[in-house]
Structure 1
Amino acid sequence: MYKILAVDDSPTVLASIRLALERRGYELYTFQRADEALKQLSTKKPDLVITDLNMPGLDGITFIRQVRANSACRFTPIIMLTTESQQAKKEEARKAGATAWITKPFTPDQLEMVLKKLLR
């Protein structure tokens, strides 16, 4: 069973991610604050991370950089799940270490398809 860590300031989006992934057999850890998620990286040891871009406090780009700075997560796939679709933001996220980009709204099938590609 793959462990997924998801961060989004929207409880509705986190609930959608949970609904989409738990019934497909993924173990899910959700956080509304990126700083709380960072504290749990070492203990949860996720196989994949999903993050929003625009969050209060620590934004998604900064969060990705800090995940990548953790030696245990240097090669962990990271999906940016956001309403943003600007190419400049995508490039910034990629340079920070994002592996994939999904624009909200998303479908459960779309999310699972990306997960399957990244978790081979």
Structure 2
Amino acid sequence: MKILVVEDDFLNRKLVSEILRRSGYTVLAASNAGDGIRIAKEQQPALVLMDIDLHALNDGLSAAKQLKQDDTTKHINVVAITDYTNRGTEMRIYDAGCDAYVANPISCKALLDTISSFVK
């Protein structure tokens, strides 16, 4: 099963990708929102893990919103990755169309539990 990781921080992208690979997932990766959107359209992953604080082209929430508004990708579940877990951020995440979120620092168990709730 393919999962796309959209994360601009190399070490975070590497960590999440390694957790996923060791759990048996095929990992696709992008370092910016534009590449993430392109890869999602081309590869049709089962899930996108989207850092909401991307610094290139547009932020992760804008990218999530674009994925959810596009007929070719709106069916793909998007899970936000965030450093900020207050009520306002949570509302912004769901308003952008994300299906769930996980907080940094990443807990392997929380990440895998969240993913497994979408990719049974």
Matches within 5 A, 1:65-84: 65-84=65-84
In 2: Cα distance, 1:78 partner to 1:64 partner: 7
**Is residue 113 of structure 1 aligned with residue 104 of structure 2?**
no
CA RMSD of aligned residues (A): 1.1
SS state at 1:6 partner = strand
Length-normalised TM-score, structure 1: 0.93
Q: Check conservation: 1:85, 1:103, Cα contact below 8 A.
A: yes
What's the counterpart of residue 104 of structure 1?
104
Q: Check conservation: 1:3, 1:48, Cα contact below 8 A.
A: yes
SS state at 1:78 partner = strand
Count of aligned positions: 119
Q: Check conservation: 1:7, 1:37, Cα contact below 8 A.
A: yes
What's the counterpart of residue 48 of structure 2?
49
The CA deviation string for residues 9-28 of structure 1, in whole angstroms up to 9 with x for no partner, is 10111111111010111011
In 2: Cα distance, 1:90 partner to 1:69 partner: 20
SS state at 1:118 partner = coil
Identity percentage of aligned residues:
19
Length-normalised TM-score, structure 2: 0.93
Q: Check conservation: 1:49, 1:79, Cα contact below 8 A.
A: yes
**Gaps (5+ residues) in structure 2?**
none
**Gaps (5+ residues) in structure 1?**
none
